Amino acid sequence: MIETVLSIVAAHRTGAATPVETVARSFARIRARDDAAIFITLRDEADALAEARKLEAAGRTDLPLYGVPVAVKDNIDVAGMPTTAACPAFAYNPTHDSTAVARLRVAGAIVIGKTNLDQLATGLVGVRSPYGVPKNSFNDAMIPGGSSSGSAVAVALGLVPLALGTDTAGSGRVPAGFNNIVGLKPSLGLISTHGLVPACRTLDCISIFSLTVDDAWTALAAVAGPDRADSYSRNRPLGRPGVMSGHLKIGVPIPGQRLFFGDKDYEAGYDAALARLARLGGELVEVDIEPLYETARLLYEGPWVAERAITAQKLLASDPDAIHPVTRAITLDGLRPTAIDAFSAFYKLERLRRVSDYIFANQIDVLALPTAPTTYTVEQVLADPIQLNSRLGTYTNFVNLLDLCGLALPASMTPKGLPFGITLLAPGGADARLAEIGRVFHADTQLPLGALDEPQPALSPVPPQPADGEIAIAVVGAHLSGLPLNGELLALGGRLLQTVSTAPDYKLYALNGTSPPKPGLLRVDAGQGAAIEVEVWALPSTGFGAFIEGVGSPLSIGTVRLADGSSVKGFLMEAVAATDARDISNFGGWRKYLAQNK
């Protein structure tokens, strides 16, 4: 049985499977694969099963990742497991989860182990690790891609349905392309990097590997959000993937800028992918991407080489031989740039950012590029480690420098039986737009899931959205369908969009002295509350003002974050009102509270 994230959660909710069974199956598959280079550290199976039993006993089947096994790249902290960054001399034992892992746990996921990587997340090849080279999921002779090699291979083989990677210059996209899976590289700051070993801290992203776009989005919604512990975190609205519709301008390089280094199979795969995008409704627009290539060259010419050296600086001074020879050579280069070099690079980058901004604002909506221009065998990369690695970053190295978000997608299989993938790129903050295009593109390929020879599941319906001229609002109490104040919404032309849950960041209180009885929804720290059932209604914008004018203290209209990571306007309460109100969060919603308190 092969499972996606969404099918696992559905099976757990219906009782067709249990978290304990699913976790045990992951460990069994890892043993059967018998590739010691995929994981650097596996969690004790008995410990993971105990966590699964505890989750079952809590009965929180509403959690978006309820019982989903997850792997974590070994430069991201997991409490109780060593963080090595694939460098034994660097290893330490964290006492706390990284923010991303903590949020995965809150969402119901269960960590299985820490995956292999190019040492210190430096490389796109997956062969620079003292813990071995994870075998490519399609051909043992080929590189797995890096630096998030173990995470990508684990997902492609079905050992886990979900894994965290990182992406500074393509590490969350290239291995996805080489293993026929989805690699979601979010906008900068969307996922907290607190608890991540930095490669280039100003550019680092935690990325997501999965078998489908919908799975990746479910995970992104669970872990995204601002974090006071991360000074590079940003409060970027996540949005929600809608229906792929409307006139979509898809940028493609002019023919002379399409680089494949002689790989005719990848070139043909790209042409076929562009034809598919056009058939799905996109208008292909040729653009000059030389400014993007110029930006990419900055990555290994300017201050970001010096930034890479920061993490390894002490080890370079005390025990340089403990660092992989290729990684050591790259990081040593980081000790040479001067402050003058740095500022010169910053000035050039700002100029190039303006060019990129203009392209997306005036010429295209998204850019569609090959994820990588070609691929290589392990033997080839070991013989020429620097140049071949550099080629693999042709279409990835500029992305984080320009604050673009990216979504790597399976596109086709070559005649040699190797995956070819494309990546959709857009300005930071457009993650939802990429997901709504990517999910349709991936489904249309009809490619099997990863390396599993299993068909993709049918696309789930897109949640209904407000129409033009409407505003979405979440109601939690007396305005729910059939309750005393619902008529106010209906009288203003409101229509019910969906019944959903909030993120698990709220508490629900039964307020005193209100008629009719009403609850209050209070936002608390991430993971300290519960997921509360709400209804999302669409109100005509002409009636929205009239509706909120009638809302009085201690209630107000604010922004409510939903379980899928999106946000809508909704009812919230002032914190002072909780003093003499009853906490009813354990009921999970106002209807359930009323039903049990008649």
Averaged confidence pLDDT in the chain: 94
Least confident of 199-203, 236-240, 370-374, 435-439: 236-240
Share above pLDDT 70 across residues of the chain, in percent, rounded to a whole number: 99
pLDDT of 143 over the 90 cut? yes
Quick one: fold of 5-445? Amidase signature (AS) enzymes (3.90.1300)
The C-alpha atoms of residue 452 and residue 76 are separated, in whole angstroms, by 27
- Active-site residue identified among 7, 148, 149, 171: 171
Residue 230's SS3 state is: coil
350 or 525, greater pLDDT: 350
pLDDT of 1 over the 70 cut? no
Encode pLDDT of 563-579 as tens digits: 877 888 998 999 988 88
Annotated active-site residue 73? The verdict is yes
Annotated active-site residue 231? The verdict is no
The residues, any chain, with a CB within 8 Å of residue 160's CB and separated by 6 or more, are: 26, 69, 70, 71, 112, 154
At 424, the pLDDT band (50, 70, 90 cuts) reads: very high
At 470, the pLDDT band (50, 70, 90 cuts) reads: confident
Annotated active-site residue 344? The verdict is no
pLDDT of 165 over the 60 cut? yes
* 383-410: average pLDDT: 97
User: HEC states along 195-207?
Assistant: CECCCCCCCCEEE
The C-alpha atoms of residue 55 and residue 306 are separated, in whole angstroms, by 44
* 112-124: average pLDDT: 97
Q: What pLDDT was estimated at residue 2?
A: 64
What sign results for the dihedral spanned by CA atoms 111, 117, 122, 125? negative
pLDDT of 422 over the 70 cut? yes
Encode pLDDT of 81-100 as tens digits: 999 999 999 999 999 999 99
Domain locations in the chain as residue ranges: 5-445, 470-595
User: Domain 470-595 carries which CATH code?
Assistant: 3.10.490.10
Share above pLDDT 90 across residues of the chain, in percent, rounded to a whole number: 75
pLDDT of 42 over the 80 cut? yes
- Paired tokens of 259: 């680089």
Q: What pLDDT was estimated at residue 263?
A: 98
Encode pLDDT of 295-348 as tens digits: 999 998 779 988 888 888 889 889 999 999 999 988 888 788 788 988 999 999
Q: How far is CA 590 from CA 64, 79, 169, 484, in A?
A: 20, 36, 47, 13
Q: What pLDDT was estimated at residue 246?
A: 67
- Active-site residue identified among 98, 147, 207, 233: 147
Could you give the angle at the alpha carbon of 301 between the alpha carbons of 321 and 305, nearest 5°? 40
Cβ–Cβ < 8 Å for 435, 224: no
The residues, any chain, with a CB within 8 Å of residue 593's CB and separated by 6 or more, are: 508, 510, 519, 584, 587
Residue 240 has, within 13 A of its CA and on its CB side, a CA count of 17
- Active-site residue identified among 7, 26, 73, 501: 73
Encode pLDDT of 221-263 as tens digits: 999 999 999 999 999 888 888 888 768 999 999 999 999 999 9
Encode pLDDT of 183-215 as tens digits: 999 999 999 999 999 999 999 999 999 999 999
Q: Which helix (H) or strand (E) holds 291?
A: helix 290-298
Q: What pLDDT was estimated at residue 598?
A: 66
